[in-house]
Structure 1
Amino acid sequence: MTFPRSLFLASTILAFHCNPSFARNESPAKAIERADKTLKAMTPEEKTILTHGIMPLKILPNSPEPPAEAIPGAGYIKGIPRLGVPALYETDASLGVSYVFGLRKDGATALPSGLAQASTWNPALIEKAGRMIGAETRAKGFNVLLAGGVNLMRDPRNGRNFEYLGEDPLLAGTLVGHAIRGIQSNHIISTIKHFAFNGQETARKLVDSKISAANAHESDLLAFKIGIEIGDPGSVMCAYNKVNGHSACDNNWLLNTVLKHDWGYKGFVMSDWGAVPSLGAALNGLDQQSGEQLDTAVFFGDTLAAAAKSNPVYAKRLDDMNRRILWAIYNNGLDANPAKPGGVIDFKAHGDIAEQVARQGIVLLRNERGVLPLAASTKRIAVIGGYANSGVLSGAGSSQVQAEGGPAVYIPAGNGDENSSFIAESYHNSVPLKALRAAAPNAEITYRNGRYIAEAVAQAKKSDVAIVFATQWTSEGFDVPDMSLPNGQDALLAAVAAANPNTVVVLETGGPVMMPWLDSTAAVIEAWYPGARGAEAIAAVLTGKVNPSGKLPVTFPAHKDQLPRAEVDGMDSTEPSFLGMPDLKGQALVADYDIEGSNIGYRWNALKGNKALFPFGHGLSYTSFAASGLKTDGARASARITNTGKADGATIAQLYLVSRTGKPARRLVSFQRVELVAGQSKPLAMTIDPRLLGDWRDGNWTIVAGDYGFALGEDAEHLGPVTTVRLKGRTWRD
């Protein structure tokens, strides 16, 4: 879910433990059979109970008192007790159970941001993390988690990039599928969202995402398709934006043609909150109206019932809407395994999982002269900036998670309007200064907040190492205007690096940033928004307790001109509000995604000959690795990877398509995380999804006969020897 105009937030939570290893209650076929049986027993009045729901929060203007059985959260849909159909209790989001203004007086375990999760390139770990947040969801009494964010990063300034899983459809789709699978193992429904092409927050309810069918299927739709294939989510959440002129929640091509017909999706489509334009959305594929108070009318209640009574087309559609919702309920065992509030959570165990994700998601971007890991002989360390004496940064919006007691630091933001109290820069109570002192007990560690550059410089000069924590806060509802570090941090970094050649930068950002000070620094790590145990993970990497293994899931551009669109669409049309709803005064606003098409991020750079500041797939280690012996037939690949250094560590084997039929190409076609002790060698066995070698044409995938080149790469720009294989041409339907 996404919080709408009059209801945005910072969110926080509590958490309770429950068994994370449930299995499905029904086979998909049995779930269909049960759905049909229940549907036949429903009265006409009962057929619109499951098709619409409220936001059960008494914080909206003129909101009625929520039903007594509703839990404060994102949504509530009544059940049908006569038929044993449970109510749906919905909560946000992909990073944990959201705080919802603290209205439940509880908290939960915050996973690191989506980009941090994606930097692990570890499907098994992300599935484990999904099981964890699914368990906390269930323990609070919720049975629907509005998770599964997989919109590809088409612009690094999108305020919501931190929730998502990067720019590549294979990586993002694989990881989101495993996250969903973990979540739903708890007998709850997970969504996958936001369907589709929700690439910016500025004017998100107005912008029209323009893209051809081929470009769509080869990029964002492929990420969704892979995620659905792996995770089998009970619901798809449609998006706020338009797609090719039609609202994404009222889009016959997206919802009926692609999702339900071509892909055979069995679950239901729920709207984003306040995204339903009319009753006609039902005919165009929408199955459930969410947060109905936020729309101009309740279209899927009495209005839908009246339409079904007088029009057989609506009657048939209404049956299908119910069948899909019932299938998701039965397929995930919501009725047989009811979620109940008051479960018990092992916060220690769940915190350990969050820390494991953070450890694997931290990316070592730069390490000159082997400054990291910090030497045991280091005597004086200056820690500067970033509220490092208080906590680690998190992203804001409907995905906001907080531990019990709320944030360690809370800085209200806004335009002084009604939304100001709902958006805040907040920090989890995981303290880098404390964690570093525990990890390096023999060093004298001082802290300066960085507000005064002269003071920070003076402390840096007296220290063996200066560690500067730099933050970029982002949020749902608005985009950042550029990729600089705000609040004068670039100037602070430049001054500290000039004063101390052993300056280490720890970035806590929502996406890529520019680094005009980079060449003056000794080391840079990207910690993203590192979650409930972020400080402990950062300290472990800095001191060498953990050998960094994260790899970038996005491209860090060298400069703005490398982007397909120099400006955020709508950003300069007028002053953007905090909820992506600028007054465009009747202007048409189009985000032309056919400019780059499916060539997103590293593929755009390869097409244009650009060199990134840090390329997709980049990430250093405290050891070294070598890959050799690549062999492939175009469907499978084998090779050997060796730890050639002196420390145990892990790396990501990245296999790229580099040419097709004699023409240059660049596409990640397989990946595998490999852990190796020093000197160890392991064989690799990788599979290649044929869709990544072909083109989508008129409803089919096509591989053109010819020579195809493959290479293992350290990242998308630094590739090993090319292995070429001749492939036969073929065409198939997905």
Structure 2
Amino acid sequence: MKRKLAAMMLATACLTPVPITAHAQQVWKNPDATPSERVESLLKATTLDEKFAMLTSEWGATYKSHKKPIGAVGSAGYSAGNKRLGIPALQSTDAGLGVTNTVNMRPGDGATGLPSGQVISGTFDPAFGYQGGRMIATEAAHRGLNEILGGGINLVRDPRGGRNFEYEGEDPILAGDVAAALVNGAQDQHVLSTIKHYALNSIETARREMSSVIDEQPMHESDLLAVKIAIDKSDPASVMCGYNRVNGVHDCLDPYLLTTVLRQEWGYKGYVMSDWGAVYDGDAAWKAGLDQQSGLPLDKEAWFGDYMKKKVVAGEIPVSSVDEKLRHILYPMFRNGLFEAHARPTETAKDIAQHTEVAQKIEEAGAVLLKNDHDILPLKQGLRKILVIGGHADKGVMTGGGSSAVTPRGGSPVRGDVPNDVQHWPRPIGYLTGAPLDALKAEMPHTQVTFLPGDDLDAVKKAAKKADRVIVFASKWATEVIDDADLSMPHHENAMIEAATTAGKPVIVVLQTGNPVLMPWADKVDAVLEAWFPGSGGGKAIARLLTGKVNPSGRLTTTWPVSVSQLPRPEVKGMGLDFSPFINHAPADYDTQIDLNIEGANVGYRWFSLKGEKPLYPFGYGLSYTSFTHTGLKIDPSEDGLVAHTKVSNTGRRAGADVVQIYVNLPDGSPERLAGYLRVQLAPGESKDVTIPLSSYALARFDTASKHWVRKAGAYRFRVATNSFDNAGPSLTSELAQK
């Protein structure tokens, strides 16, 4: 009887506003109060109905029978505000590489696109990530959006992964640093940011069913380490749990990931949102620690709405569990200033130019020169004729597909192969404005620069004979929900390059890809520039790199294998199948377990080191138009751990940036790992003594008994290198105490 009476009283309270005293109002609206104080005062004034309204977000646009919510500006997610309490609405946009306009939610709206994550991480300088995050957040704010679904941090465990272009490479320390910088850049603009996809969502094949099987120690030393570093260095508002399973349990239903690790071990204060349509069981998700069910109606039921509210009213679930979820949601809103008014100026031409320059500078710093025989690059002024072939280089640059695909202002310069709608998502193949052809003409005004689409191979052969230099733009699209079947380039792209080489003229290949690729023509061409997906301003950046206005300095953050036979899993069932539309695909008819214990924490370059395999191009690799040397190595203690000292010299004739990399071998014999890095700009002939902080995580192992990272006593070998496979630089062995 008492329980029934309590339930009736609670039901009445659901609809009755709690009186707001002057004191309570002053606390949660007082920006000088701490976020926690403001949260607690607001919770006391909030009804149960008002609380549950914050536990879900819905698709922020019309989708099938779902109508665009009133108040939504048109984006991936919308959680209504509360006028009575002054709670702002959450307007969430996909924005891993720029503010997206998926399926034209905001008709005609375009934005600035950053280059691929491999480019951002390939700068080996988190400052570029910060600038990118700030740019995205500013453009989000211009559109009335206050939460970006960015911070992609899944490690590149397989170079065929469809979303690798969104992520920050294969090393957890570098990836964590860069993702944290992206988040900080956004949240310093009072725009919330996420980290995604938590956890081990490394491939797209059957992603709703695929189970990543991995033991606790390697899990913490690889993918979870990247997330932990990003959280520690940026405190993101939200962590988005993924579609996949880990050890048989779906991410958004996993109490180990969401509560044990995230809350108890790491002390994370923000909230956990689901990926769109990733809540397969509401009761399990609630208990596991999910705070917000996102993207309704993509789940089969609005679990965190009336379904759970009825259980609270019935006394089956305590109100305290609702309040705990709201604390996680409200805390970052207060901490990042969403309750305070911020100016949202209209986007100007000056803003657009500055943001395009941000994207351009990142591409210039992160594109990787893979080959440059006979110093054929940079292109020299005075050449009579240059032939540019393929890649729609006369119109724009390619961009990756799926939820991160940015629509350029004015629309794609290349007509899509299918309509831009839900039925055809993640297509069409997108392009950003800024033609490399036009930029190259501007950089070389006294050279005749001509273009051929590349579809007529006989025309390519004929025109190549008349050119002094031939530049081939070769592309391989990558997208969410589709992994690459293999590492091969599309047949026509290879044929186009082969045709260009028949004339015997110097051939330069510019690759626009989302992943490493095989290059059967590599010995026949003189130079290869991996531009990845180069973003807005990418055309100009490529032209400046080819002509030497900018010296290439990007480094690979994904190891390029010679063939798939070198990978931990040469064959993965289902890779290459099209799983779009992602909502309604049929269940896989094959084993959906993927054994990550094969490589464990030895992801990418560490796998190659473990197996003694030589890759095509190693992690950290990249050429320059100048040369560098490293002299001496010393390891010293500092307030934050250990630092490395070395001297870097530019021994060439051009200014350029070197990326100094410090690798370490632990006394337990485990494969080497990147311990520290520093990007250094040097004039010709200049030398600098540099100090490089070393990550404590690179020197330790995760102890599953204590749940702490432990550095064992013993001999640690440090070396300065130009890439993970380089052993020619200075090295030393240092005895370290246990810590």
TM-score (norm 1): 0.92
Deviation digits for residues 67-105 of structure 1 (CA, Å, limit 9, x no counterpart): 331111011101222222111111111211102233322
- 1:478–1:419 distance in 2 versus 1, CA, 3 Å: farther
Q: Would you say 1:643 and 2:646 are equivalent positions?
A: no
Q: 1:475 to 1:366 in 2, by over 3 A?
A: same
TM-score norm. by structure 2 comes to 0.92
- Report matched runs for 1:395-414 at 5 Å: 395-412=400-417
For residues 516 and 588 of structure 2, what CA distance do their matches in structure 1 show?
A: 32
Matched, 1:534 2:542: no
Deviates more, 1:112-121 or 1:254-263: 112-121
DSSP 3-state at the match of 1:489: helix
Aligned letter for 2:493?
A: Q
Q: Is the 8 A contact 1:413 1:421 kept in 2?
A: no
Q: Take 1:46 and 1:622, find their aligned partners in 2: how far apart are those partners? A: 61
Q: Could you tell me which residue of structure 1 aligns to residue 91 of structure 2?
A: 89
1:351-430 superposed matches below 5 A: 351-412=356-417, 419-420=423-424, 422-430=426-434
* 1:120 aligned to which of 83, 105, 123: 123
Match of 1:710 in 2: 718
Q: Which amino acid aligns with 1:176?
A: A
1:721 is aligned with what amino acid?
P
Cα shift at 1:568: 3.0
- Listed one character per residue, the Cα deviations across residues 223-265 of structure 1 (whole Å, up to 9, x for unaligned) are 1111111111111111000111111011101000111110000
> Any unmatched runs of 5+ in structure 1?
1-24
2:12 is the counterpart of 1:43: no
Q: Distance in 2 between matches of 1:296 and 1:502?
A: 57
Equivalent positions of 1:249-398 (< 5 A) are 249-280=252-283, 281-311=285-315, 313-338=317-342, 342-344=346-348, 346-398=351-403
SS at match of 2:672: strand
Which residue is 1:725 aligned to?
Answer: 734
Secondary structure (helix, strand or coil) at the match of 1:409 reads coil
Question: How far, CA to CA, are the matches of 2:620 and 2:575 in structure 1?
Answer: 30
2:701 corresponds in structure 1 to: 695
Q: Report the alpha carbon displacement of residue 313 of structure 1 after superposing the two structures with TM.
A: 4.6
Farther off after superposition, 137-146 or 118-127: 118-127
Are the counterparts in 1 of residues 602 and 671 from structure 2 also a CA contact under 8 Å? no
Aligned AA for 1:728? A
Change (3 A) 1:77 1:705: same
Q: Distance in 2 between matches of 1:355 and 1:486?
A: 27
What is the match of residue 204 of structure 2?
201
CA contact (8 A) 2:629 2:649 kept: yes
Q: Is the 8 A contact 2:551 2:656 kept in 1?
A: yes
Give the superposed CA RMSD.
2.0
Deviation for aligned residue 1:546: 0.5
Cα distance in 1 for residues equivalent to 2:449 and 2:155: 40
CA distance in 2, matches of 1:301, 1:42: 16
Of residues 468, 471, 475 in structure 2, which corresponds to 1:467? 471
Distance in 2 separating the partners of 1:478 and 1:421: 11
Whole-angstrom distance in 1 between the partners of 2:187 and 2:484:
34
Contact 1:478–1:578 (8 Å) recurs in 2 = no
The alpha-carbon distance between structure 1 residues 688 and 527, as it changes in their structure 2 partners (threshold 3 A), is: same
Of 142, 145, 155, 2:145 maps to: 142
Report Cα offsets for 1:121-145 as digits up to 9, x if no partner: 1111220121111111111101111
Structure 1 residue aligned with 2:114: 111
Q: Is the 8 A contact 2:186 2:193 kept in 1?
A: yes
Q: Which residue among 651, 663, 682 is the counterpart of 1:656?
A: 663
Look up the equivalent residue of 2:100 and give its one-letter code. Answer: S
In 1, Cα distance between equivalents of 2:426 and 2:199? 26
Q: Using the alignment, how far apart are the partners of 1:422 and 1:118 within structure 2?
A: 25
Q: What's the offset of the Cα at 1:687?
A: 1.3
Q: 1:355 and 1:417, CA in 2 relative to 1: closer, same or farther beyond 3 A? A: closer
- 1:651 CA drift (Å): 1.0
CA contact (8 A) 2:298 2:583 kept: no
Look up the match of 1:17. Answer: none
Deviation at 1:495, TM superposition (A): 2.9
SS of the residue corresponding to residue 552 of structure 1 reads: coil
Aligned to 1:602: 605
> 1:201, 1:580 within 8 Å by CA — same for their partners in 2?
no
* Residue 497 (structure 2) pairs with residue 497 (structure 1): no
2:492 to 488, 493, 499: 488
Contact 1:107-1:403 at 8 Å conserved across structures: yes
- 1:98 aligns with 100
Q: Which has the higher contact order (CA 8 A, sep 6+)?
A: 1
- The superposition leaves residues 500-543 of structure 1 with CA deviations (integer Å, 9 ceiling, x where unpaired) of 34110000000111111111111000001111110100000100
Q: Which position in structure 2 is the counterpart of 1:15?
A: none
Q: Is the CA contact (8 Å cut-off) linking 1:205 and 1:580 kept in structure 2? A: no
Q: Which residue of 2 aligns with 1:66?
A: 68
Q: Which has the larger radius of gyration?
A: 2
Q: Distance in 1 between matches of 2:627 and 2:392?
A: 33
Q: How many residues align?
A: 701
Q: Secondary structure at 1:410's aligned position in 2?
A: coil
Task: Tell me whether 1:237 sits opposite 2:240 in the alignment.
Answer: yes
Mapped to 1, the partners of 2:403 and 2:199 lie a distance apart of: 18
Letter in 2 for 1:672: L
Report the Cα distance in structure 2 between the residues aligned to 1:640 and 1:606, rounded to whole angstroms.
Answer: 26
Q: Tell me the distance in 2 between the aligned counterparts of 1:500 and 1:311.
A: 80
Aligned partners of 1:516, 1:111: CA distance in 2, in Å?
30
State whether residues 157 and 479 of structure 1, in contact with CA within 8 Å, keep that contact through their aligned partners in structure 2.
Answer: yes
Partner of 1:4: none
Q: Name the SS of the counterpart of 2:176 in structure 1.
A: helix
Alignment of 1:606-617 (within 5 A): 606-617=609-620
* 2:225 alignment counterpart: 222
Q: Is the 8 A contact 1:143 1:339 kept in 2?
A: no
Of stretches 150-159 and 487-496 in structure 1, the one that deviates more from structure 2 is 487-496
- Equivalent residues of 2:482, 2:578 under 8 A apart: no
Instruction: Please state if 1:175 is matched with 2:175.
Output: no
Structure 2 distance, partners of 1:37, 1:130, is: 32
1:392 and 1:702 map into 2 onto residues whose CA distance is 46
Give the aligned residue type for 2:382: S
Q: What is the alpha-carbon distance in structure 2 between the residues aligned to residue 26 and residue 447 of structure 1?
A: 62
Check whether the contact 1:141–1:339 (CA below 8 A) recurs between aligned residues: no
1:508 — aligned with what? 512
Letter in 1 for 2:226: A
Identity %: 42
Instruction: Label 1:397 to 1:174 Cα distance change in 2 as closer, same or farther (>3 A).
Output: same
Q: Per-residue displacement from partner, 1:543-562 (whole Å, max 9, x unpaired)?
A: 01001111111111111101
- Name the residue aligned to 1:11: none
Give, in angstroms, the shift of residue 411 of structure 1: 2.7
User: Post-superposition shift, 1:487?
Assistant: 4.1
The one-letter code of the counterpart of 1:213 is: E
SS at match of 2:517: coil
- The AA in structure 2 aligned to 1:145 is I
**Offset at 1:279?**
2.1
> 1:551-608: CA deviations, max 9, x gaps?
1111111111011111234338x77545387534564411111111111111000001
Q: What residue identity is the alignment partner of 1:236?
A: V
CA change 1:248–1:81 in 2 (3 A) is: same
CA distance in 2, matches of 1:531, 1:322: 37
After alignment, is 191-200 or 273-282 more displaced?
Answer: 273-282
Q: 1:668 to 1:421 in 2, by over 3 A?
A: closer
* Secondary structure of residue in 2 paired with 1:106: coil
Name the residue aligned to 1:14.
none
What residue number does 2:682 align with? 676
- Paired residues of 1:208 and 1:590 also in contact (CA < 8 A): yes
Structure 1 residues 369-423: Cα deviation after superposition (integer angstroms, max 9, x where no partner): 0000011132111111111111100001111112221100133359x99732651
Provide the C-alpha distance between the structure 2 equivalents of 1:580 and 1:77, rounded to a whole number of angstroms: 21
Post-superposition offset of 1:187: 0.8
Task: Provide the C-alpha distance between the structure 2 equivalents of 1:544 and 1:248, rounded to a whole number of angstroms.
Answer: 47
